[in-house]
Chain A
């Protein structure tokens, strides 16, 4: 089948980055909309770059959702300007434009109750495109959320956060496809991230970056291992034992187990919520994480707790020679497992 021209792919990728940068640099609701539109428009060819029916369907669903969200964002900005007579994003918002803007951001970032598109869309995409969707495309709406966060009622955003953690936990329990599992884990982690925004936006950004690191590691590792579902995953010990072990450790890091990096984000969030005496939120967030822990442990069980020549859960594959060295994956694995132990050196620099 035909592949996309690499120059065109690079051009579209640069335009996606340009769209997000326009959102970062703008001080007018209209230009935020413009950046998001350029972002969505240029991302569509990346979605259909592997020309198969699943990618086309995923691109259609993604396009409809993102176009609706951008239009609602513009409408919210227009209503805000009609009442307050200012197009500045940092001016305080009245309830009606705020509702429209929050619905738009929830649609863009897959925050429940607007999360149903993410598992379907991620399922239809190859893993590297799914990586861009899960990491880079979340930056622009997160920036908008940080900009308007003083106007959002605290109870609303904390409720959305723990609702997201619960939905991410429950939704992933029945999945065997890796990409859908990663979609639900994305929903859960975004829930943790937005729950802390009213108290400390810097901590939310830190948690987002930690999540980006670990999930990039997992996406790249699964791409290198060519696994698409849990059955393929059980095979990978046979031809890449070291990468499989490191994938196991990274999955446990995503679950938030100490002493791995994922625990750093969750620990700081629990500490900040406890300092603001918000114990019901901590309880529900942690219980939601417990649900996610179940399917992360299922991945751990399938990867390495059943090994050949003992009883395997699927047929053995041919052993081929390992692929060439993969420096980005190696760097990301180190970052996503060892960063907690060296955090006293870099963490004070961030706050």
Chain B
């Protein structure tokens, strides 16, 4: 199981690196995130893995997909050829090597969820972290609104 996830991560990374069009890079990023999330869940951090899956894939990458539809080519370059296949096979071999020699992650059962205990500290011990995160998100909202101002300045819309 961890071999499959590990090869998903390596394969996804290779696709992100070697694609000529952002559509396929986004696909590779989705595969890599699925793999990393699976590795996190296998290692016992189920909550964190779910956060990665839901918030990142379901939130951020959907926004990336919309932005790719806005800004990327209408006719993307598809040719990947032998280079990509060879590198993917190499990535799977590397995943096999890593799995056999070290084992990617120590598989923990669903016992005490330590990551839940730790993250619940966000509301108790590390309340400053919660405030800092909230402030960061608040600042980010205004940052993005400042960056995409267009109507007021009469920007030339070429897209």
Contact = CB atoms under 8 A, between A and B. Distances in A.
Interface of A: 1-2, 4, 8, 11-12, 15, 34, 37-38, 41-42, 44-45, 48-49, 51, 59
22 contacts: A1-B153, A1-B154, A8-B146, A11-B142, A12-B146, A15-B139, A34-B132, A37-B136, A38-B136, A38-B139, A41-B139, A42-B139, A44-B143, A45-B142, A45-B143, A45-B146, A45-B147, A48-B146, A48-B147, A51-B149, A51-B153, A51-B155
B152 interface: yes
Contact of B147 (A1, A37, A44): A44
A42 B153 contact: no
B149 A2 contact: yes
Contacts of B143: 12, 41-42, 44-45
A6 to B, nearest CB: 13
Contacts of B152: 2
List of 6 A-B pairs having minimum Cβ-Cβ separation, nearest first: A45-B146, A2-B152, A51-B153, A2-B153, A15-B139, A1-B153
B51 interface: no
B153 A4 contact: no
B67 to A, nearest CB: 14
Nearest to B136: A38
Contacts of A34: 132
B119 interface: no
A13 to B, nearest CB: 12
Interface string B120-155: 000000000000100010011011001101001111
Contact of A41 (B140, B149, B153, B155): B140
Contacts of A49: 146
A51 B147 CA distance: 9
Of B132, B136, B146, B149, most buried by chain A (CB within 10 Å of CB) is B146
A41 B144 CA distance: 9
A45 B140 CA distance: 10
A154 B122 CA distance: 41
B147 A12 contact: no
Contacts of A41: 136, 139-140, 143
B81 to A, nearest CB: 28
A11 B142 CA distance: 10
Contacts of B155: 51
Contacts of A4: 146
A321 B147 CA distance: 37
A12 B139 CA distance: 8
Interface string B75-112: 00000000000000000000000000000000000000
A49 B136 CA distance: 20
Nearest to A5: B146
A250 B81 CA distance: 60
Contacts of B132: 34
B21 to A, nearest CB: 19
B157 to A, nearest CB: 13
Nearest to A50: B153
Given A11-B142, A42-B139, A45-B146, 4 more contacts: A1-B153, A2-B153, A8-B146, A12-B139
Contacts of A8: 142, 146
A12 B142 contact: yes
Contacts of A44: 143, 146-147
Of A4, A37, A42, A45, most buried by chain B (CB within 10 Å of CB) is A45
B9 to A, nearest CB: 16
Contacts of A12: 139, 142-143, 146
A2 B155 CA distance: 11
A49 B153 CA distance: 11
Contacts of A11: 142
A48 B143 CA distance: 10
Contacts of B146: 4, 8, 12, 44-45, 48-49
A12 to B, nearest CB: 7
